Homo-oligomer: A and B are copies of this chain.
Amino acid sequence: MNINRILMATAVAMTTFVAGCATQPDGGGNAAPAALAIQAQGSFAVGGTVLQMPGRYDNNNPTSAGQSFHGDHLYAFYQVPLNPRPLPIVMLHGAFQSARSWESTSDGREGFQTLFLRRGFPVYLVDQPRRGRAGSSTVAASVVPAPNDQLFFDQFRIGKWPKYFDNVQFDRKPETLDQFFRSVTPNTGPYDAGVISDAIVALMKQTGPAILFTHSQGGGPGWLTAIKSPNVRAVVAFEPGSGFIFPPGELPPAMPSAAGPLAPEAVSAEDFDKLTRIPIVIYYGDNFPTTPTAERGQDNWRVRLAMARIWVDTINRHGGDARLVHLPEAGIHGNTHFIMSDLNNVQIAGLVSAFLNQKKLD
């Protein structure tokens, strides 16, 4: 019996377990991915508030009198890989979505949750207050089935319904589109960027220093969180869609578009300056023009990209470190609004990894 061969075989076997450090076949390979080695996983609520009803609670004839209600917290599911990197990543979804956005892609491949675990980061997935598993809202809402599938297909740039964009990085099997439509989940209370960012600040008190990933509508609460919490060490924003904030006197004019106007929002100079202390990168995908178009689903993103460019310039003029990557200009084509789930999401994860490495955040 050859001891060296046993050792070698053992080492190979072990490698398949050390997910935190394993280099992954880059999506195209046929090799089964290595197993993930998870040191700890679980979930909890954080942030939020408590409503207290007046009166006295009667255990055997309960009414609302004297009872309390816990709401407006976020829900987080976390996983810590073996041999974790120092900074965890907190991932915040956008409108109509939940933490589901970061899990499996609609065509069933690994999303950013698992891809960044494989890259050694502890990952915290958030359902924001009043959404998903954090559904207990202190403010009432009605939930009405809203037929929006075709609008989503257009607005999230899979194509122009019912036609897919020629180069789109979205699998065309009908069941993939079905999964995409079913990833939607409604608000159970009014959207409130203040409530959401307060909850993420509370989460980051628990995690300590962390990297914040945001998607779409999550962009707005993301900037607010970075203002309020010294624990945000970087923001990676995928197609931020709302909450472009500027200091007094520097707000650009609102931008009209076929999808309605996009207006900047004001914050104090002091708050704005807090965003200049951390590295920020913003990604936008493909299939919208940079000049006005009557196509609503595309024009929506034309103004957001334009506003984000001004925003990045403003941050940097104030001494900050922000960068905007319009993927087609970087030679990466076909990305939808859900960049992190597109067919090339391993390549996108690579871009993000390179950014984190360059900023010494890994």
Q: Residues on A close to B: CB < 8 A?
A: 3, 6-7, 10-11, 13-14, 17-19, 33, 35-45, 48, 51-53, 57, 59-62, 64, 66-71, 73, 75, 77, 82, 98-100, 103-104, 108, 110-111, 114, 127, 131-151, 154, 160-161, 178-179, 181-186, 188-189, 258, 294-297
> Quick one: copies of this chain in the complex?
2
A182-B48, A188-B135 known; A71+B41 contact, CB < 8 A: no
Of the candidates B52, B70, B141, which one forms a contact with A178 in the assembled complex, judged by CB atoms under 8 Å apart?
A: B70
**15 residue pairs A–B, Cβ–Cβ below 8 Å:** A17-B18, A17-B37, A35-B37, A35-B38, A36-B36, A42-B110, A68-B150, A69-B147, A70-B149, A75-B182, A132-B132, A136-B184, A140-B144, A140-B145, A143-B143
- Is there an interface contact between B185 and A136, defined as CB atoms closer than 8 Å? yes
A68-B150, A154-B62 known; A142+B143 contact, CB < 8 A: yes
A36-B38, A45-B179, A132-B132 known; A147+B64 contact, CB < 8 A: yes
The interface centre, meaning the residue of A11, A62, A69, A151 with most chain B CB atoms within 10 A of its CB, is A62
Task: Find chain B residues with CB under 8 A from A140 CB.
Answer: 142-145
Return A301 CB to nearest CB of chain B, in Å: 14
- Is there an interface contact between A295 and B59, defined as CB atoms closer than 8 Å? yes
Return A103 CB to nearest CB of chain B, in Å: 4
- Is there an interface contact between A143 and B149, defined as CB atoms closer than 8 Å? no
Task: Find chain B residues with CB under 8 A from A127 CB.
Answer: 132-133
- Is there an interface contact between A42 and B103, defined as CB atoms closer than 8 Å? yes
- Is there an interface contact between B73 and A182, defined as CB atoms closer than 8 Å? yes
Give the docked Cα–Cα distance between A140 and B60 (Å): 32
Give the docked Cα–Cα distance between A154 and B57 (Å): 11
Return A57 CB to nearest CB of chain B, in Å: 5
The interface centre, meaning the residue of A35, A69, A141 with most chain B CB atoms within 10 A of its CB, is A35
Task: Find chain B residues with CB under 8 A from A82 CB.
Answer: 17, 35
Task: Find chain B residues with CB under 8 A from A104 CB.
Answer: 42-44
Q: Which chain B residue has the least Cβ–Cβ distance from A42?
A: B104
A132-B135, A135-B132 known; A57+B143 contact, CB < 8 A: no
- Is there an interface contact between A137 and B145, defined as CB atoms closer than 8 Å? yes
New contact pairs (15) apart from A7-B10, A127-B133, CB-CB < 8 Å: A6-B7, A17-B18, A17-B82, A37-B38, A41-B114, A43-B104, A45-B182, A59-B296, A67-B149, A69-B149, A70-B184, A134-B185, A136-B185, A142-B143, A143-B188
